[in-house]
Amino acid sequence: MTVSPDVESESGHGTDYKGRIGNLIRDARKHRGLTQTQLAERLATSQSAINRIEKGHQNLSLEMLARIGSALDSEIVALGAGPTHLRVKGPTTLSGTIDVKTSKNAGVALLCASLLNRGRTTLRKVARIEEVNRLLEVLGSLGVQTRWINEENDLEIIPPKELDLSRIDEVAARRTRSVLMFLGPLLHRAETFELPYAGGCNLGNRTVEPHMSALRPFGLEVKATDGWYHGQVNRAIVPGRPIVLTERGDTVTENALMAAALHPGTTVIRNASSNYMVQDLCFYLQALGVGVEGIGTTTLTITGQSVIDVDVDYAPSEDPIEAMSLLAAAIVTQSEITVRRAPIEFLEIELAVLEEMGFRYELSEEYLAANGHTRLVDIRTLPSELVAPRDKIHPMPFPGLNIDNLPFFAVIAAVAEGQTYIHDWVYDNRAIYLTDLNKLGGRVTLLDPHRVMIEGPTSWTGAELMCPPALRPAVVVLLAMLASKGTSVLRGTYVIHRGYEDLAERLSSLGAEIETFRDI
């Protein structure tokens, strides 16, 4: 694999260039399978120097960069650098064992929630993904100190006494949807504040109003003009009765929870999401000393604190969407792999639907995630002949089939015999991107913007494609490429890195032939 990354273009701006170069060096070193000590030996320097470089704590000369690049057989700074692409050779059969990483969506919620705490938050094994990187840039621009403290991706967060909202990193903020979740904590930190409009996957219009109505009972009024949310807080207003969410959304529930955590009194939230990231946030709030009852249900009762100032250590749970992605990789390539640390309670319906389609698998005994609550299993996939399900596949808020897992059913349906109907009632745009599978030989018909019909089985053939501008559809295309005959190219993979850590490398460790490259 060749990694010749740039320091500017994919993440869009170059404020923390030392940190970014450090990340690139760490990634290239890991890709070469070297320890910090081994790389240090090649460069005739010390392990602690490499550690400083990778953490972005070291100024680097161009000469040193060139030496590191040659030691890693990788151009750290490319000429005329551009976005990353993947070259995939197929068809592949995967084998071996892979661990599911912690979730993007809990990770970003916890980063936002760390603003509630005046003490130090240590988060264990945080997914080192671009969405997290963007939020770290935003936090850094507010004066929050964050640092990766070891190779395990443990992250330390120390908020300043006062947040400096005037210098918010607007470019980074606009690339995430999660920045919306600053509203809940910020309303306790400032009387007035401004946040840039949120971004995230391009899935059509995504609602913001439910966030506003959930936070209004805490005295927050938000005006949205010129690409900015202007927040104004009236401290005389506090929730007098239960807050009934108009949508059972994940981030809206998280915003309401965070607002309630610093409200000294009891707040009841009804029609709350009980999804995995919300549960992780609740467990973290409990560790902060906030009372939270009803975790896993749609009614949450929160007893807040006027000040939270504790040094806290929390380990978010594994990502059900990544687990589903890996299952889909095995299914489309007819492979036998073991997906370890899969959060089974958030995959049960997905597995039940897959079982109806003929998918065979074995489950280990259950064990607990590091958060002490979430049930995990190891799933061994068995090569299976699949048939289309009788009924349409559609998502529902948890405990339904997860909306973010829906796209994976498209690529799975494409290898099943018969016609499968997939109904994405939620997002205006996401189903459209599934028709990209047709460029690889799929037969996906868009019935309307929310529904597709997929005919299988498919004889996949490699092709060159641009990544669709949405995380899950982009991964779905990559998985189809693993099963495609010949060479495929997937261009512009930032969107995948937004939500997956080292996905190409980890699939390669299962036997996939994937090379990362950039245009020179």
Ligand X SMILES: CC(=O)N[C@H]1[C@@H](OP(=O)(O)OP(=O)(O)OC[C@H]2O[C@@H](n3ccc(=O)[nH]c3=O)[C@H](O)[C@@H]2O)O[C@H](CO)[C@@H](O)[C@@H]1O
Ligand Y SMILES: C=C(OP(=O)(O)O)C(=O)O
Residues that bind ligand X (CB under 6 A): 105, 108, 177-178, 206-207, 247-252, 277, 397, 403-404, 426
At 461 the three-state DSSP class reads strand
Instruction: Please answer whether residues 473 and 433 qualify as being in contact, where contact means their C-beta atoms are separated by less than 8 angstroms.
Output: yes
Question: Which of the listed partners (ligand Y, ligand X, none) does 5 bind, with a CB threshold of 5 to 8 Å by partner kind?
Answer: none
Closer CB to ligand X, 54 or 322, in the complex: 322
End-to-end CA distance of the chain: 15
Instruction: Please answer whether residues 342 and 318 qualify as being in contact, where contact means their C-beta atoms are separated by less than 8 angstroms.
Output: yes
Closer CB to ligand X, 177 or 360, in the complex: 177
Closer CB to ligand Y, 181 or 416, in the complex: 181
Q: How far is the CB of 205 from ligand Y (least distance, A)?
A: 13
107 binding ligand Y? (CB under 6 A): no
| 167 alpha-carbon distance from chain centroid | 25
C-alpha 176/C-alpha 44 separation (Å) is: 40
Q: Which stretch binds ligand Y (CB under 6 A): 39-47, 200-208, 221-229, 291-299?
A: 200-208
Q: How far is the CB of 409 from ligand Y (least distance, A)?
A: 14
Question: Which of the listed partners (ligand X, ligand Y, none) does 248 bind, with a CB threshold of 5 to 8 Å by partner kind?
Answer: ligand X
Question: 175: phi > 0 → left, psi -120 to 50 → alpha, else beta; which?
Answer: alpha
**CB atoms near residue 439 (< 10 Å):** 17
Q: Site for ligand Y (CB under 6 A): which residue of 85, 188, 472, 497?
A: 472
Instruction: Please answer whether residues 93 and 19 qualify as being in contact, where contact means their C-beta atoms are separated by less than 8 angstroms.
Output: no
Instruction: Please answer whether residues 513 and 444 qualify as being in contact, where contact means their C-beta atoms are separated by less than 8 angstroms.
Output: no
Find the helix or strand (DSSP H, E) in which 281 lies.
helix 276-287
Q: At what angle do helices 320-332 and 406-414 cross, to 10 degrees?
A: 10
- Positive/negative CA dihedral, 259, 261, 267, 273: positive
Q: How many residues bind ligand Y (CB under 6 A)?
A: 8
Closer CB to ligand X, 4 or 405, in the complex: 405
Which residue is nearest to ligand Y, using beta carbons?
200
Q: Site for ligand Y (CB under 6 A): which residue of 200, 210, 217, 219?
A: 200
Closer CB to ligand X, 75 or 254, in the complex: 254
Find the helix or strand (DSSP H, E) in which 304 lies.
none
Question: Which of the listed partners (ligand Y, ligand X, none) does 397 bind, with a CB threshold of 5 to 8 Å by partner kind?
Answer: ligand X
Tell me the residue ranges of DSSP E strands in 288-438: 291-293, 299-303, 312-314, 336-343, 360-363, 367-368, 375-382, 418-423
Closer CB to ligand Y, 350 or 404, in the complex: 404
Q: Site for ligand Y (CB under 6 A): which residue of 492, 499, 503, 512?
A: 499
Tokens of 481: 């490429």
Find the helix or strand (DSSP H, E) in which 505 lies.
helix 503-509
Question: Which of the listed partners (ligand X, ligand Y, none) does 249 bind, with a CB threshold of 5 to 8 Å by partner kind?
Answer: ligand X
Q: Site for ligand Y (CB under 6 A): which residue of 127, 181, 201, 324?
A: 201
Give, as ranges, the residues between 8 and 47 that touch ligand Y (CB under 6 A): none
Instruction: Please answer whether residues 476 and 439 qualify as being in contact, where contact means their C-beta atoms are separated by less than 8 angstroms.
Output: no
Q: How far is the CB of 295 from ligand Y (least distance, A)?
A: 21
Q: Which stretch binds ligand Y (CB under 6 A): 9-17, 198-206, 354-362, 504-512?
A: 198-206
Q: Which stretch binds ligand Y (CB under 6 A): 29-37, 147-155, 195-203, 488-496?
A: 195-203
Q: How far is the CB of 3 from ligand Y (least distance, A)?
A: 25
Closer CB to ligand X, 98 or 181, in the complex: 181
Tokens of 273: 């999401």
Q: How far is the CB of 110 from ligand X (least distance, A)?
A: 11
Q: How far is the CB of 99 from ligand X (least distance, A)?
A: 21
Question: Which of the listed partners (ligand Y, ligand X, none) does 493 bind, with a CB threshold of 5 to 8 Å by partner kind?
Answer: none
Strand order in the sheet with 443-448: 418-423, 451-456, 443-448
Instruction: Please answer whether residues 436 and 477 qualify as being in contact, where contact means their C-beta atoms are separated by less than 8 angstroms.
Output: yes
Instruction: List Cβ neighbours of 172 (8 Å cut-off, separation of 6 or more).
Output: 11, 12, 13, 134, 135, 137, 138, 141
Closer CB to ligand Y, 378 or 404, in the complex: 404
Closer CB to ligand Y, 276 or 361, in the complex: 276
Residue type, 511: G
Question: Which of the listed partners (ligand Y, ligand X, none) does 471 bind, with a CB threshold of 5 to 8 Å by partner kind?
Answer: ligand Y
Closer CB to ligand X, 199 or 418, in the complex: 199
Residue 397: name the closest of 259, 256, 269, 276 by CA.
Answer: 276
Give, as ranges, the residues between 165 and 194 that touch ligand Y (CB under 6 A): 177
Closer CB to ligand Y, 279 or 458, in the complex: 279
Question: Which of the listed partners (ligand X, ligand Y, none) does 472 bind, with a CB threshold of 5 to 8 Å by partner kind?
Answer: ligand Y
Closer CB to ligand Y, 379 or 471, in the complex: 471
Q: Site for ligand Y (CB under 6 A): which residue of 471, 475, 480, 503?
A: 471
C-alpha 122/C-alpha 494 separation (Å) is: 27
Give, as ranges, the residues between 249 and 278 that touch ligand Y (CB under 6 A): none
C-alpha 235/C-alpha 245 separation (Å) is: 21
Instruction: Please answer whether residues 493 and 467 qualify as being in contact, where contact means their C-beta atoms are separated by less than 8 angstroms.
Output: yes
| Secondary structure letter of residue 362 according to DSSP | E
Q: What is the 3-state secondary structure (H, E, C) of 389-426?
A: CCCCECCCCCCCCCHHHHHHHHHHHHCCEEEEEEECCC
Q: How far is the CB of 471 from ligand Y (least distance, A)?
A: 5
Q: Which residues make up the interface to ligand Y (CB under 6 A)?
A: 177, 200-201, 203, 404, 471-472, 499
